[in-house]
Amino acid sequence: MAEFDPRFDPSFQRGFAGRPAQPVERLVEIPDAAAPVAQRPERLVPEAPELPLEEDDEGISLSGNPWVRALWVIAGVFTIGGLVAQWQAQQLFSSQNGSNAIDYYVLPSILSTMSPWFTFAGLIAGVAVVTLHAVRWRQP
């Protein structure tokens, strides 16, 4: 009697003599497409918190921003203050009628040295705040 390879159906192997095929041990049930699908749970993942999409999408929030107002104030005060300090230092240098060392040497030196810093910081603050408004600007 021929031996058949147990891995395959004997009807397709050499020496098969009409013996019925081996019964299938396990049948796989194919679900009917028309059958109703089992009810799915309402949510499979925890509910995500509501995010302020408008703020994230818009990026920088300028309306009611106190720091933007502070930048405007810094821009104005520092720029004008720096220019005034420079003018005042030149006045002190040119007059040279101080009676003590503070008025004669120290104050003009400090004013003339610090005024460019304040003027430049004010201008940078102005450019920065205008840039913020330009980034947020939308054509009406």
Q: Applying CB under 8 A, which residues contact another protein?
A: 52, 55, 60-61, 63-68, 70-71, 74, 78, 98-102, 104-106, 109-110, 113-114, 117-118, 120-121, 124-125, 128-129, 132
Q: Which is nearer to another protein, 4 or 104 (CB)?
A: 104
d(CA 121, CA 75): 7
Q: How far is the CB of 32 from another protein (least distance, A)?
A: 51
Q: How far is the CB of 140 from another protein (least distance, A)?
A: 23
Q: Which is nearer to another protein, 4 or 126 (CB)?
A: 126
Long-range own/partner contacts, residues 124-130 (CB < 8 A, 24 or more apart): 125/71, 125/74, 125/75, 125/78, 126/71, 126/72, 126/75, 126/76, 126/79, 128/71, 129/68, 129/71, 129/72, 129/75
Q: How far is the CB of 57 from another protein (least distance, A)?
A: 13
